[in-house]
Amino acid sequence: MTSNPHINDRKCLLLVGGWSAIVEKALRVADDLVLFHGTPSEIDPSLQAACRAVETVDTRDEVACIARARLLHPTHCFTAVAAVRDIDCLATAGICDALGIAGNSRHAVALTRNKIAMRKTLAGGALDTVGWMAAHDRTSARAAVERLSTPSGEPVIVKPAAGRGSLDVRLVSRETAGAILQSYPDKALADGLIVERFIGGAEYSVETVSLNGCHHLLGVTEKLNPPRPPYFVEEGHLFPASLEDARLADIRDRIFLLLDALSITEGVCHTEIKLDGDQMHLIETHARPGGDRIWRLMELALGIDPIEIGFAALCGRPAALPSSMPANRFAAIAYLCGEGGPVSEASLDGSIRDIPGLVESRLLFQTGMVAPPTRDSYSRHAFVILTGPGETALRGNLESALSRIRIVCDPPARSALA
Ligand SMILES: Nc1ncnc2c1ncn2[C@@H]1O[C@H](COP(=O)(O)OP(=O)(O)OP(=O)(O)O)[C@@H](O)[C@H]1O
Ligand SMILES: [Mg+2]
């Protein structure tokens, strides 16, 4: 008896973690979708129903994820495994290795998840352009600050080696080292800090997709108001970044070199860089799509969705790749940040709807809630997304849109007295 070739050709994607919009994208690409999720109730019930299976499993627990995937593989015959959140990436790579299905190896993903491991791998090569040292206690961190801030006395960057969302990224000078290093919990030190020379210039992020070790550049995004001290929070993004063709080609070549050095062969990657004069410096890379809705900006400007392209590539399906850049439209997201406190007013002025190209405006905290002070990506207060044909007008419209959002927080002193 011959087996049905049509059935054998079905692509079953195992998605580890995510949220409703991501599940929806995966359902569009794969014939069958199995979802691993710590709290499946966060996913729209109709999307859960469309999945072939939804498994409740802690996606940060790599061993549990691998065991569950092994158990289910004989039934579902997974084609590929994918994740879009940092916290799901290692379990995803572990499953890839254990089942021998499409995805990036655990070795490759582990290099992207640890900034010390990444810099070690790149040492001595063309991408080794930033002085850095690893530290696992306050004494060695202090010594690294002393060493790297010599001879100019310029402050350096200190950040957790396995950090995310700009959490605990600090600018440190010889004078401030004692106090700032004291503020890192012992666990952060034990997990490793990386101390780096401060890189000047404008900041960008680069989206790529890889298939069988062959890389494609999907686009370059400008980081608005480049993240700055003291907390280096990302305040917004504009796509596509206006860069000359030669510059783009140089960025592309260097990022492909990076992906090869880290053994990335499949799926979407998001790489952060700074351009200081003619020099491109690497900040970090991730084996997942860019956060902060960069995929949405690319969809608005270029008509492509890198997340869907990534899923399609993993499933071995043809994907519509952009043949040329720049796009003929621009799109941007800007965040409202603040010092936080009990929210006495959270509102969008009705006139925000009149701003040309407004796509979305959202309050992340409502009246009556307590908004945290913005110190990282998780504590920003609101955002707007806009699109338009002209970059200058779009930047102006972003400012106008932000000015029509009001999140009024009682200052801590007043609320403490109340
Ligand atoms: N060596 C450096 N020189 C200058 N700025 C830096 C350096 N390292 C980090 N930064 C700044 O700090 C920001 C956060 O650092 P990084 O991206 O490495 O940490 P992260 O917590 O993994 O960030 P995220 O997950 O938000 O992308 C960068 O976007 C950049 O603006
Ligand atoms: Mg970053």
The domains of the chain are located at 12-103, 131-197, 199-322, 329-418
The ligand placed nearest to the CA atom of residue 283 is 1
The ligand placed nearest to the CA atom of residue 164 is 1
Q: How far is the CA of 42 from the centre of ligand 1 (A)?
A: 29
**Ligand 1 near 194 CB (within 6 A):** no
Q: How confident is the model at residue 322 (pLDDT cuts 50, 70, 90)?
A: low
Q: From the alpha carbon of 228, which atom of ligand 1 is closest?
A: 31
Least confident of 132-136, 264-268, 321-325, 377-381: 321-325
Here the tokens at position 325 are 């850049």
At residue 279, does pLDDT exceed 70? yes
Q: What percent of the chain has pLDDT over 70?
A: 94
Question: Which whole number is the average pLDDT over 28-37?
Answer: 97
pLDDT of residue 317: 81
Please, are residues 14 and 30 in contact by the beta-carbon 8 Å criterion? no
pLDDT of residue 325: 57
The structure tokens 């001595």 sit at 124
**Ligand 1 near 227 CB (within 6 A):** yes
At residue 155, does pLDDT exceed 60? yes
* Minimum CA distance residue for ligand 1 atom 24: 165
Q: What is the CATH number of domain 131-197?
A: 3.30.1490.20
The domain made up of 329-418 has a fold known as D-amino Acid Aminotransferase; Chain A, domain 1 (3.30.470)
At residue 169, does pLDDT exceed 60? yes
What does the buried/exposed string (b/e) look like for 327-351 if buried means 16 or more CB atoms within 10 Å of the residue's CB? Answer: bebbbbbbbbbbebbbbeebebeee
Please identify, in words, the CATH class of the domain defined by 12-103: alpha beta
Pocket test for ligand 1, best of 205, 232, 281 (most atoms within 8 A of CB): 232
Q: What is the CATH number of domain 199-322?
A: 3.30.470.20
pLDDT digits (tens, 9 = 90+) for 129-149: 999 999 999 999 999 999 998
**Ligand 1 near 162 CB (within 6 A):** no
pLDDT digits (tens, 9 = 90+) for 112-131: 999 999 999 999 999 999 99
**Ligand 1 near 176 CB (within 6 A):** no
Q: How confident is the model at residue 29 (pLDDT cuts 50, 70, 90)?
A: very high
- Eight-class DSSP state of 243: -
Q: How confident is the model at residue 199 (pLDDT cuts 50, 70, 90)?
A: very high
Which residues hold their Cβ within 5 A of ligand 2, which is an ion?
A: 272
Least confident of 31-35, 56-60, 323-327: 323-327
Pocket test for ligand 1, best of 159, 282, 377 (most atoms within 8 A of CB): 159
Q: What percent of the chain has pLDDT over 90?
A: 84
pLDDT of residue 320: 66
How many beta carbons lie within 10 A of that of residue 321, not counting itself? 13
* Minimum CA distance residue for ligand 1 atom 22: 164
Here the tokens at position 68 are 């569950």
pLDDT of residue 1: 37
At residue 2, does pLDDT exceed 70? no
Q: What is the mean pLDDT of the chain?
A: 92
Contacts made by residues 320-326, CB under 8 angstroms, sequence distance 24+: 321/209, 321/216, 321/218, 322/218, 322/219, 325/217, 325/219, 325/220, 325/240, 325/248, 326/240, 326/242
Q: How far is the CA of 271 from the centre of ligand 2 (A)?
A: 8
Here the tokens at position 69 are 């995937």
pLDDT of residue 177: 94
Domains 199-322 and 329-418 share a fold: yes
At residue 197, does pLDDT exceed 60? yes
